[in-house]
């Protein structure tokens, strides 16, 4: 009887711990970086894998009302990449935990490991920056893997429903050096 009780406890406790960690991390979207961490960053970004769009009011769903356009600088990119790399490292670590848990729970199912991690070097990026009414420089990065079906990606914003972690967006307050949001698309 004790063995059954222990197994029952494990089936309840492990998912509960996993779910608790998930909820705790979902609420922690804001990240801050110090200049000291940014100083030693070797900034390299392949110019064939990104483009910059000028802000206009058509992006009202991303930026605060009455934002105005501004220029994206190399320093902005350094700050953004530092914060993005930190956040993706956490995402991948948490993905490893999710993957392990699901493999244990469903040993007969084949899991696509790709859905639990993000390799930034495989993604195209679209940058849009604006100055908010409070004077903060806000950077939106739209990231997606591959260009098949998106040959227009340098001229138009890529937007899809679902797609999993092949599509995600990041919002960064460059002025305060804070990652405000990481939003990974869902899976249909």
pLDDT-derived band of residue 44, with 50, 70 and 90 as boundaries? low
Residue 161 lies in a domain: yes
Residue 136 lies in a domain: yes
DSSP state of 55: P
Residue 48 lies in a domain: yes
For residue range 124-173, what is the model confidence (pLDDT) as tens digits?
999 999 999 999 999 999 999 988 889 999 999 999 988 888 899 999 99
Residue 169, CB-side half-sphere exposure with 13 Å CA sphere: 18
Burial of 62 (0-12, 13-18, 19+ CB in 10 A): middle
Alpha carbon distances (Å) from 81 to 33, 70, 87, 112, 155: 11, 19, 10, 27, 22
Taking the model in full, what pTM does it have? 0.74
Residue 13 lies in a domain: no
Domain limits for position 63: 32-184
Of the chain, the percentage scoring pLDDT greater than 70 comes to 76
Burial 93-127 (b: 16+ CB within 10 A, else e): ebbeeebebeeeeeeeeeeeeeebebebeebbbbb
Number of domains in the chain: 1
Residue 26 lies in a domain: no
Residue 174, CB-side half-sphere exposure with 13 Å CA sphere: 24
Residue 43 lies in a domain: yes
CA distance from start to end of the chain: 41
Measured CA to CA, the distance from residue 107 to residue 76 in angstroms comes to 45
Q: Which residues contact 179 (CB under 8 A, 6 or more apart)?
A: 29, 30, 31, 83, 84, 86, 87, 170, 171, 172
Alpha carbon distances (Å) from 32 to 82, 88, 143, 171: 10, 14, 21, 13
β-pairing, 123-131 with 167-173?
unpaired
Residue 21 lies in a domain: no
Residue 20 lies in a domain: no
Instruction: Report residue 155: phi and psi, to 5°.
Output: -110, -25
**Average predicted confidence (pLDDT) for the chain:** 79
pLDDT-derived band of residue 21, with 50, 70 and 90 as boundaries? very low
């Amino acid at each position: 009887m004790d063995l059954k009780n222990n197994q029952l406890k494990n089936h309840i406790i492990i998912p509960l711990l996993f779910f608790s960690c998930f909820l705790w991390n979902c609420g922690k979207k804001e990240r801050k970086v110090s200049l000291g961490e940014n100083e030693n960053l070797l900034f390299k970004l392949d110019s064939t894998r990104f483009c910059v769009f000028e802000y206009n009011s058509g992006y009202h769903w991303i930026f605060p009302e009455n934002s105005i356009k501004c220029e994206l600088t190399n320093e902005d990119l350094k700050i953004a990449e530092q914060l993005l790399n930190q956040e993706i490292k956490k995402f991948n670590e948490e993905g490893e935990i999710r993957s392990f848990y699901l493999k244990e729970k469903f040993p007969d199912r084949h899991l696509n490991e790709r859905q639990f991690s993000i390799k930034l070097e495989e993604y195209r990026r679209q940058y849009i920056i604006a100055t908010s009414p409070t004077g903060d420089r806000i950077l939106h990065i739209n990231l997606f893997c591959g260009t098949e079906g998106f040959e227009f990606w340098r001229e138009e914003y890529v937007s899809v429903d679902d797609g999993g972690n092949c599509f995600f967006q990041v919002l960064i307050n460059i002025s305060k050096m804070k990652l405000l949001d990481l939003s990974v698309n869902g899976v249909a």
